[in-house]
Amino acid sequence: MTKEIEFDYYIDKKYTIWGRERYTIVAELKEKADEIMMDIFKNGDTHGLCYDFEYNYETSEDLQPEDNGDESTKELFEESNGNLIITNKNK
């Protein structure tokens, strides 16, 4: 009788997901605060300005290779040594 052995694996997956950043702007007028936030939004320079961040997990979606420059978005590995077995990369 052959003894069965357990083999462990893991799958890495790439997702797209919405995140929410919260900001507080101090200004004399709402219009000025709006202007400051629009500049932050356009320039993408939020370093040190965001006081809270959360992922909206309900918006999580698997990415497909065609959405990732035809690179893999799902990869199967052996747990014991981290060897890559297969991906969903387009050939």
Q: Write down the pTM of the prediction.
A: 0.70
Q: C-alpha distances in angstroms, 58 versus 14, 19, 22?
A: 15, 11, 18
Tokens representing 39 are 């500049």
Residue 81 has pLDDT above 80, yes or no: yes
DSSP string covering 67-88 = GTTT--SEEEEETTT--EEEE-
First to last CA, the chain: 42
Euclidean distance between CA atoms 87 and 91, whole angstroms: 10
Task: Tell me: pLDDT of 48 over 90.
Answer: no
Q: What's the Cα-to-Cα distance from 5 to each of 2, 8, 82, 89, rounded to whole Å? A: 9, 10, 18, 30
Q: For a pLDDT cut of 90, what percent of the chain falls above it?
A: 85
State the average pLDDT for the chain.
93
The average pLDDT across 57-78 equals 95
Going by pLDDT thresholds of 50, 70 and 90, the confidence category of residue 19 is very high
CA 16 – CA 90 distance, rounded (Å)? 19
65: pLDDT confidence band, cut at 50, 70 and 90?
very high
